[in-house]
């Protein structure tokens, strides 16, 4: 529904190979004993206890410790055990000789279809249900659920240029599937760390908490996986990595999770974002879902900035055009995901909606960027930063001086209204 969050070829899985790592450790040991600056820097960062040793005293175990820490492990033995487990799982999947991790009575819920096929390849037998209403974009007001469903369907069809009837039917199917979740004995929620996932997770926790499901409900909620370089989502993971994630990160959901979801979902829908900002700032890793606070802060950064009225996404788009433009929209998307966005959450067609909204300006006013050919599909259109866009980006001009569109950040309606809530980037507060 909302496109992909990654760019092919830019973000991929790194594969750990124990023999290759042994060779790297010997090479690193030579560099340590030669007292090379880069090796010393890696030593200080990942093995500080050994930083004061003489170069001649380093052992291969020191180099191995550095490599283990660089790959997200506490020690070399822990990394080797992980690699051995992954190799075994991969062999079992390839030969078909593997235990079934779940049962046909398990319901797997994910905010997209990106892991559906790999779950099957990994031997999972439960039912997969996609629920992908992108609450990180468009209106999420505090209204009864049937009204919200209709408003969301209308927005999705309009913003992403989808067939209204098909969108309505899909919304109905996905929400109805949630209402029937009580038919399953075991429910597992598969989520990651960005605002796209975390807002949907908050909704599901609120929704299932109200249903008081008799089923066992568990959560997989991660922001990294060993041997995955620059983790951006579960869709990156291979079948063996999904098995590892299932076995090592799955946790039961209890009353504290449901309570968190209820509070967050209420704050997300509020017309005033002050409560959400307070909650996001006070939330920490000690809460049931430590990743949610950072995602909420990123969500709040989509409010207009106090110094120039731009959301963070809008600001980053203009910065990309200033640094590397003119660029096609698809290349802007690639740079945004790869280089600029601190917590990637937008799909490609979601970005096209952002670009179109930024062009909604007063008649005769110069927009923040120009578009060469509006008859082309958005990915092929070339964008060029204008002088007005440059001034707004630097904070010398305010976007609301020309903006005549309407957008939403949860329950907050954004327009060129002086009373519109803004986000102070430095202080991370609503003003």
Domains of the chain: 18-95 (no CATH), 106-299 (no CATH), 310-402 (1.10.10.10)
> Across the strands, what pairs with 221?
191
Q: Give ∠ CA 136-106-108 in degrees, rounded to 5.
A: 20
| Digit-coded pLDDT (tens) for 210-249 | 998 888 999 999 998 887 777 888 998 988 889 999 999 9
| Least confident piece of the model among 97-111, 220-234, 340-354 | 220-234
Q: What is the mean pLDDT of the chain?
A: 89
| pTM of the shown model | 0.81
| Digit-coded pLDDT (tens) for 242-289 | 999 999 999 999 999 999 999 999 999 999 999 999 888 875 555 567
Q: Select from 243, 13, 216 the least CA-distant residue to 123.
A: 243
| Digit-coded pLDDT (tens) for 166-198 | 999 999 999 999 999 999 999 999 999 999 999
Place of tokens 């609120």: 206
CB burial string 27-42: b at 16+ within 10 A, e below = ebbebbbeeeeebeeb
Residue 28 has pLDDT above 50, yes or no: yes
Dist. CA 91–CA 98, nearest whole Å: 9
Dist. CA 150–CA 167, nearest whole Å: 10
CB burial string 167-196: b at 16+ within 10 A, e below = bbebbeebbebbeebeebeebbbbbbbbbb
Contact yes or no for 359/367 (Cβ under 8 A): yes
Q: Average the pLDDT over 25-40 and give the result.
A: 87
């Amino acid at each position: 529904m909302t496109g992909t969050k990654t760019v092919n070829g830019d973000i991929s899985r790194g594969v750990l190979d124990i023999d290759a790592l042994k060779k790297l450790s010997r090479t690193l040991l030579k560099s340590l004993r030669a007292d090379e600056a880069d090796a010393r820097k890696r030593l200080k960062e990942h093995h500080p206890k050994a930083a004061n040793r003489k170069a001649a005293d380093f052992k291969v175990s020191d180099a191995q410790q550095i490599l283990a820490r660089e790959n997200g492990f506490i020690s070399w033995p822990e990394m080797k055990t992980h690699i051995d487990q992954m190799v075994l799982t991969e062999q079992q999947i390839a030969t078909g000789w593997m235990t079934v991790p779940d049962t046909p009575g398990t319901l797997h819920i994910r905010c997209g279809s990106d892991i559906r096929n790999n779950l099957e390849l990994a031997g999972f037998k439960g039912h997969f249900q996609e629920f992908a209403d992108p609450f990180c974009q468009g209106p999420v007001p505090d209204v009864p659920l049937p009204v919200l469903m209709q408003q969301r369907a209308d927005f999705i069809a309009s913003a992403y240029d989808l067939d209204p009837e098909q969108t309505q039917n899909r919304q109905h199917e996905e929400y109805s599937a949630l209402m029937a979740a009580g038919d399953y004995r075991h429910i597992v929620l598969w989520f990651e760390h960005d605002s796209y996932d975390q807002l949907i997770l908050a909704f599901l926790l609120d929704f299932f908490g109200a249903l008081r499901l008799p089923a066992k409900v568990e959560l997989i909620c991660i922001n990294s996986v060993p041997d995955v370089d620059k983790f951006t989502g579960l869709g990156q993971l291979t079948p063996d990595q999904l098995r590892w994630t299932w076995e090592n990160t799955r946790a039961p959901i209890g009353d504290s999770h449901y309570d968190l979801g209820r509070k967050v979902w209420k704050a997300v829908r509020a017309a005033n974002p002050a409560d959400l900002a307070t909650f996001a700032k006070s939330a920490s890793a000690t809460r049931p879902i430590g990743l949610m606070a950072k995602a909420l802060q990123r969500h709040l950064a989509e409010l207009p900035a106090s110094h120039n009225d731009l959301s963070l996404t809008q600001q980053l788009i203009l910065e990309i055009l200033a640094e590397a433009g003119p660029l096609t929209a698809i290349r802007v998307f690639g740079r945004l995901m790869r280089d600029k966005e601190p917590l990637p959450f937008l799909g490609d067609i979601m970005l096209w909606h952002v670009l179109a909204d930024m062009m909604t300006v007063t008649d005769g006013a110069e927009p923040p960027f120009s578009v060469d050919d509006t008859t082309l599909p958005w990915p092929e259109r070339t964008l060029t930063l204008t002088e007005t866009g440059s001034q707004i980006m630097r904070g010398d001009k305010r976007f609301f001086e020309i903006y005549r569109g309407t957008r939403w950040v949860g329950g907050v309606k954004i327009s060129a209204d002086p009373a519109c809530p803004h986000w102070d980037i430095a202080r991370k507060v609503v003003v």
